[in-house]
Amino acid sequence: MPERKIRVMVAKPGLDGHDRGARVLARYFRDAGFEVVYTGCHQTPEQIASAAIQEDVDLVGLSCLSGAHRALFPKVVQLLREKGASDITVIGGGIIPEQDFPMLYEAGIKAIFTPGASLDSIVEWIKTNIKPH
């Protein structure tokens, strides 16, 4: 029987140009058998939400090392909701202080991975929590 392939998008919102982590993840997701859309750096939340819909991804992984996650991550979730795409899961990663976790979860970010999180744990999370549309 035909099987749904998991499609994910890895995106870097805001002015942060440090994408080594995002690239390593994109590559690891590829090796996990996902189709990975990578958008590159310096994306606005609007660009990310719109690209996620055009690509029909199941999950958007946001990476931010600049400290702007409090503004940018919730904005992506909000835009997806406004565009009728609240079924697209948003997770985040990067330099994110623990005290910001509750605020991000509250805003609809489903998981947060910080330095030290293993690649396998992220793939496991996706495989467990994401059912392709």
Partner 1 sequence: MDSLVKKICAGDVRLASRLIRDIEDKLPEAKAKIKKLYAYTGKSFIIGITGAPGAGKSTLTDALIAALRKKNKTVGVLAVDPTSPFTGGAILGDRIRMQRHAEDAGVFVRSLATRGALGGLSHAAGDAIHVMEAMGKDIIIVETVGIGQQEIDIINHAHSVVVVLVPGMGDEIQTMKAGLMEIADVFVVNKANRPGTNQLQTELASMLNLASKNGKGWQPPIVMVGDAFEPGAFAEKIAELERKIEEHHKYLIESGKLTERMHRKAMAEINDALSACLLEPVIQKLASTGELDSFAEKIKSRKADPYTVAEEIAKNYFIRQDKK
Interface contacts to partner 1, rule CB under 8 A: 2-5, 7, 26-27, 29-40, 43-44, 46-48, 50-51, 53-56, 83-85, 133
CA pair distance 101, 106, nearest whole angstrom: 8
Smallest distance, partner 1 to C-beta of residue 100, A: 27
Tell which residue, 95, 13, 83, 18, has the closest CA to residue 53: 83
Q: Are 92 and 74 in contact (CB under 8 A)?
A: no
**Minimum CB separation from partner 1 for residue 117, in Å?**
20
Cα(36)–Cα(60) distance, rounded to whole angstroms?
10
Round to whole Å and give the CA distance between 104 and 92: 9
For the CB of residue 8, give the shortest distance to partner 1 in the complex, in Å. 10
Q: Which is nearer to partner 1, 30 or 117 (CB)?
A: 30
Residue pointed to by tokens 């467990």: 128
- Give 35 or 100: the residue with its C-beta nearer to partner 1: 35
| Comparison of 90 and 96: residue with beta carbon closer to partner 1 | 90
Q: Toward partner 1, which CB reaches closer, 26 or 96?
A: 26
